[in-house]
Structure 1
C-alpha cells in the first residue's frame, strides 16, 4: 500500500502533479494534512508521519520516504511503465537523477539565498554557484528540445519549474527557459492539481 501525504499549495504539489502525470491516482492514496504556513495559519498535523510534520511524505508498505527528489526518483522505480517514468535502465536515468539532485542541492538554495538577500556573498556563490550559471545550464539543456531530458517531459521538469509556479519573477529572463516554463505550466496534470488544490 502506498500513501501520499499532501498539503495543498505547498512543496508537495510537485509530487501530486507527478502522480497525476503518471496516471497513479488509483494506485496511490492521497491524504491531505495541514502544515505550518508562513502567514501563521495551519500547524503540525498528528496524522502526518513526516518527522518534521512537513510535506511531501510517502509511505510505501510501512516505509516512510520524504524529500521531493527522493520521492520522484522512487515513483519512477516503483512504476517503470507509467507515463513519464524514468526508471533504472532508462537511457535518461542518469540525467533525470542529476536534475533532481541539482534542484535540491543548487537551485532551491540559490532561490532562498536570493530571497534572503545573501546570494551575492562570495561564500554563497562558491558553494551554490549563481543564478546566471543556473540559467546557462538550463538554456544549454533546452537548446534543442522542449524539455530537460532527451526523452521528453519528466518529473525533472516539474521540480525545476516548481519555484517559478510560486513567483514567476524568479524565472530567468531567457526566451528558451520562459517557453519551457509555459509548456510545463500548461500541462493538463499541472492544471488539474491546481484546480483540486484551489477549488
Structure 2
C-alpha cells in the first residue's frame, strides 16, 4: 500500500488534519511548512497544490486538497478506529451533511462576517445568512455531547477545532453550548498533543527566520 504524506503548517487549518491523524493513530509522513517564510509559495509545494494551501495530502501520486476532502479521505483510508460512519450506517447521511455544511455554508458565512461583507442575494448566497447558519450548528451541538450525539467522529475533530478558532477571534459567540463543546474536543489527548507540538514548531520556525537557535 502507498504511503500517505500530509503537508502541514503549525497553527493553521492543517492542524485539524494532524489532530485527526493522531485520533486515527494513522501512520503517515508529515512535511512541515513555514508559511511566514513563504514555503507554501515555493515551486516544490506549488507543484503539489497550486493554491499554496494546507492541508494537502498525497497518497502515493493521488492528491487530496481541501480541508473537508482531506478529513473524509483520512477517515476512510484508516477505518480501524471507526471515526466515520460506514455506508449503510444510519449516521452516514448526517455525517456527510455536517462535513459538507462546514465548507459550503459555515466557513463562507464566518469569513463574510469577519470581513463585514454582506452575503449577497438569498438566491445566490451558498449559506443564506450568518445567524441561521450558526443557529443550525448550535442546535445540533445542543443534542451533544458530540456532533452526532453519543458518538465521537471525524466531525468533532473538524468542528471542535474550527469553533475553537472562531470563538477565539470573536466571529462566533462562545455560548455555554459552544464553549463546552470546544473544551470537550480540546481536552482530548490528540488535540493537546498537536497544540503543544504546533507551539514548539512555530517557535522553532520563528527562531530560524530570526537567525537564532530555538530555546
Structure 2 residue 20 is matched with structure 1 residue 18: yes
Deviations 1:120-155 (A, max 9, x none): x55269612223212321232123320111352222
The alpha-carbon deviation at position 45 of structure 1 amounts to: 3.2
Q: Retained in 2: the 8 A contact 1:6–1:16?
A: yes
Q: TM-score with structure 2 length normalisation?
A: 0.79
Structure 2 residue 28 is matched with structure 1 residue 31: no
Match of 2:121 among 120, 123, 126: 123
Match of 1:42 among 24, 38, 43: 38
Q: TM-score with structure 1 length normalisation?
A: 0.85
Change (3 A) 1:143 1:10: closer
Change (3 A) 1:129 1:75: same
Change (3 A) 1:75 1:156: same
Q: Retained in 2: the 8 A contact 1:7–1:34?
A: yes
Structure 2 residue 162 is matched with structure 1 residue 152: no
Tell me which moved more, 135-144 or 182-191. 135-144
- SS of 2:13's partner is coil
Pairing 1:16-165 to 2, within 5 Å after superposition:
16-24=18-26, 27-35=27-35, 37=36, 41-43=37-39, 44-48=41-45, 49-119=48-118, 121-123=119-121, 127=125, 128-165=127-164
Q: Retained in 1: the 8 A contact 2:106–2:134?
A: no
- SS of 2:80's partner is coil
Q: Retained in 2: the 8 A contact 1:118–1:124?
A: no
